[in-house]
């Protein structure tokens, strides 16, 4: 039994653009986000209020947030690592924050310079303060399957971190395959374990397609009752602190798959592809999405 509808969380403007080597003009980011919203995406992660020294690509977060196209039913979110990030998010009137940690100590240390425990302690106050202002919060757990530094990650670790995030007030935990190494068997193992502590409707899955297994993993997630998936237009992405990680699962490829499986997601494939074509022009390179390349070749 597969769900009849799925929610897509578009992370291209953040998880995707944070990884581009060249600076992207703020206006181009905003035009990209506008096209994504017009394609029917209802949850868009627009930027990050992290240290601009660590992620210079998103140093224009305040400007992006201030000019986000206002669309009924669209919720924009931004990454927030600490109290300073929350302060910036509040000032920018972002309604939803995303806090982030990992299931591997080494990755957490490299990514945010603290232990998992320290990160959770910090997020407790950040999420409480956000919710007190009427904001909502999602939590990311990176390296839920394989860590680029430590190798295999124990599903019990993922469960513990996911449950801790939920306990401190996030309404959804996104389980990330940061380096894109998982296969369906791994997804089953991790979801079965996490679902013992976290209701399935609060679990999202975040796949990267490094090894070409992302859609197979989505299928496994659907069969396990998961109804929310993160993806990025064109398959933009990677992680600056995860060597070897390639792009996210492409939104186009996910939308095609869901459409063909008869699962509603409310997103228009061709409009996403148009957003990707425009950002390809800015980047000066082709993006990896199979559907994007197919649509471009039929247009040409």
Binding-site ranges for ligand COA (CB under 6 A): 18, 48-55, 81-82, 84-85, 88, 100, 111-113, 142, 239, 241
Q: Choose from Zn ion, ligand COA, none: what does 81 bind? Cβ within 5-8 Å by kind.
A: ligand COA
Contact 124/168 with Cβ under 8 angstroms? yes
Kind of pairing, strands 43-48 and 203-207? unpaired
Helix (H, G, I), strand (E, B) or coil at 49: coil
* Per annotation, catalytic residue among 144, 147, 239, 265: 239
DSSP-assigned letter for residue 180: S
What are 171's two structure tokens? 């309404």
What are 228's two structure tokens? 């929310």
Based on CB atoms, which residue is closest to ligand COA, 148 or 227? 148
Tokens 């299928």 sit at which residue? 219
Is 239 considered catalytic here? yes
Q: Report how far apart, in Å, the C-alpha atoms of 114 and of each of 81, 100, 105, 108, 275 are.
A: 11, 12, 8, 6, 36
Based on CB atoms, which residue is closest to ligand COA, 112 or 116? 112
What's the closest the beta carbon of residue 66 comes to Zn ion, in angstroms? Answer: 25
Based on CB atoms, which residue is closest to ligand COA, 3 or 237? 237
Alpha-carbon gap, residue 20 to 247, rounded angstroms: 11
Q: Choose from Zn ion, ligand COA, none: what does 205 bind? Cβ within 5-8 Å by kind.
A: none
Based on CB atoms, which residue is closest to Zn ion, 15 or 252? 15
Q: Which of residues 10-69 bind Zn ion (CB under 5 A)?
A: 15
Q: Is 177 in the site for Zn ion (CB under 5 A)?
A: no
Cα angle, residue 251 at apex, residues 248 and 256 outer, rounded to 5°: 130
What's the closest the beta carbon of residue 238 comes to Zn ion, in angstroms? Answer: 8
What's the closest the beta carbon of residue 201 comes to ligand COA, in angstroms? Answer: 24
Q: Enumerate residues 6+ apart whose C-beta is below 8 A from 113.
A: none
Q: Residue 178: which of 120, 117, 110, 127 has the closest Cα?
A: 110
What's the closest the beta carbon of residue 16 comes to Zn ion, in angstroms? Answer: 9
Residue 38: Cβ within 10 Å count: 16
Based on CB atoms, which residue is closest to ligand COA, 51 or 223? 51
Window 93-132: contact mask with Zn ion (x via CB under 5 A)? ----------------------------------------
Which spans of this chain sit near Zn ion (rule: CB under 5 A)? 15
Which residues are the active-site residues?
239
């Amino acid at each position: 039994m597969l769900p009849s509808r799925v929610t897509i969380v578009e992370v291209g403007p953040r998880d995707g653009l944070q990884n581009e080597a060249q600076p992207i003009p703020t206006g181009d980011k905003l035009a990209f986000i506008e096209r994504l919203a017009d394609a029917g995406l209802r949850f868009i992660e627009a930027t990050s209020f992290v240290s601009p020294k660590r992620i210079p690509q998103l140093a224009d977060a305040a400007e992006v947030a201030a000019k986000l196209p206002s669309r009924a039913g669209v919720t924009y979110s931004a990454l927030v690592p600490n109290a300073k990030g929350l302060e910036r998010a509040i000032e920018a009137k972002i309604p939803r924050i995303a806090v982030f940690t990992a299931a591997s100590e080494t990755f957490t240390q490299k990514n945010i310079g603290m232990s998992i425990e320290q990160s959770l302690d910090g997020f407790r106050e950040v999420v409480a303060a956000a919710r007190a202002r009427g904001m909502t919060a999602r939590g990311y757990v990176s390296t839920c399957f394989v860590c680029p530094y430590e190798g295999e990650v124990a599903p019990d670790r993922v469960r513990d971190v996911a449950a801790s995030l939920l306990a401190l007030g996030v309404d959804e935990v996104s389980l990330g395959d940061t380096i894109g190494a998982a296969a369906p068997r791994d997804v089953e193992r991790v979801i079965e374990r996490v679902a013992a502590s976290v209701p399935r409707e609060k679990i999202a899955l975040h796949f990267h397609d490094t090894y070409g297994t992302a859609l197979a993993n989505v299928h496994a997630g659907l069969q396990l009752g998961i109804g929310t998936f993160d993806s990025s237009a064109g398959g933009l992405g990677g992680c600056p602190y995860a060597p070897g990680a390639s792009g996210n699962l492409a939104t186009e490829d996910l939308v095609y798959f869901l459409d063909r499986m008869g699962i509603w997601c409310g997103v228009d494939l061709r409009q996403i592809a148009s957003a990707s074509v425009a950002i390809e022009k800015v980047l000066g390179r082709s993006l990896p999405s199979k559907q994007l390349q197919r649509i471009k070749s039929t247009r040409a």
